């Protein structure tokens, strides 16, 4: 199959690929406090990540976003899960690739996206997290090193509350 055979059919579900990484060092996790001027999640804490560019694979995108938003060169960057997130249009969504990594240093630099901060694991519930992190972060950080990636779907109920469904991948 050639490049000309690779096509997107209008009306079919299409996704924007994004990465989200959680970096740990000892008993702390690195979270990015969003810039107050950001259109989504201003001043809220999230992992590190962003869009995948057309000229890069998902792994390279995760590594690039980490460097751009924190200045860190990380070790053991590992895919932990993939989340399908439909948006408010029936034909579009986000496909979120979730990673973990470790860092040998705590030296950080801010970016236009926000300020990276090392948060103690036992204090994560005391900061203003984006809405999915109270469910996602404990799930990701509890995964063992050899555990396969998870698959999940985010949706919203009639009251507008997030519903996260994790697939059962065992037979």
Least confident piece of the model among 3-17, 110-124, 156-170: 3-17
Average pLDDT, the chain: 91
- 72 domain residue, yes or no: yes
Q: Helix and strand tally (H, E) in the chain?
A: 2, 9
Q: Domain of 16?
A: 12-166
- 1 domain residue, yes or no: no
Q: Give the integer Cα–Cα distance in Å for 131 and 110.
A: 22
- 4 domain residue, yes or no: no
pLDDT in tens, 60-116: 999 999 999 999 999 999 999 999 999 877 788 999 999 999 998 888 988 888 999
Residue 74 is given by DSSP the state -
Is the predicted pLDDT of residue 4 greater than 70, yes or no?
Answer: no
- 56 domain residue, yes or no: yes
Is the predicted pLDDT of residue 58 greater than 80, yes or no?
Answer: yes
- 68 domain residue, yes or no: yes
Which CATH number goes with the domain that contains 150?
Answer: 3.90.79.10
- 148 domain residue, yes or no: yes
**Domain tally, the chain:** 1
Average pLDDT of the segment spanning 21-30: 96
- 107 domain residue, yes or no: yes
């Amino acid at each position: 199959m050639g490049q000309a055979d690779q096509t997107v059919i209008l009306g079919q579900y299409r996704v924007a690929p994004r990465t989200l990484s959680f970096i740990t060092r000892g008993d702390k996790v690195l979270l990015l406090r969003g810039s107050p001027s950001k259109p989504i999640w201003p001043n809220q804490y999230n992992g590190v990540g962003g869009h995948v560019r057309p000229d890069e694979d998902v792994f390279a995108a995760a590594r690039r976003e980490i460097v751009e938003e924190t200045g860190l060169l990380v070790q053991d960057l590992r895919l932990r899960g993939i989340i399908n997130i439909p948006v408010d249009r029936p034909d579009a969504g986000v496909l979120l690739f979730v990673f973990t990594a470790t860092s040998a240093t705590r030296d950080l630099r801010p970016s236009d996206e926000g300020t990276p901060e090392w948060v103690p694991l036992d204090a994560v519930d005391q900061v203003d997290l984006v809405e999915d992190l109270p469910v996602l972060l404990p799930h990701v950080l509890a995964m063992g090193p050899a555990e396969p990636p998870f698959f999940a779907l985010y949706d919203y109920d009639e009251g507008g509350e997030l519903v996260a469904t994790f697939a059962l991948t065992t037979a």
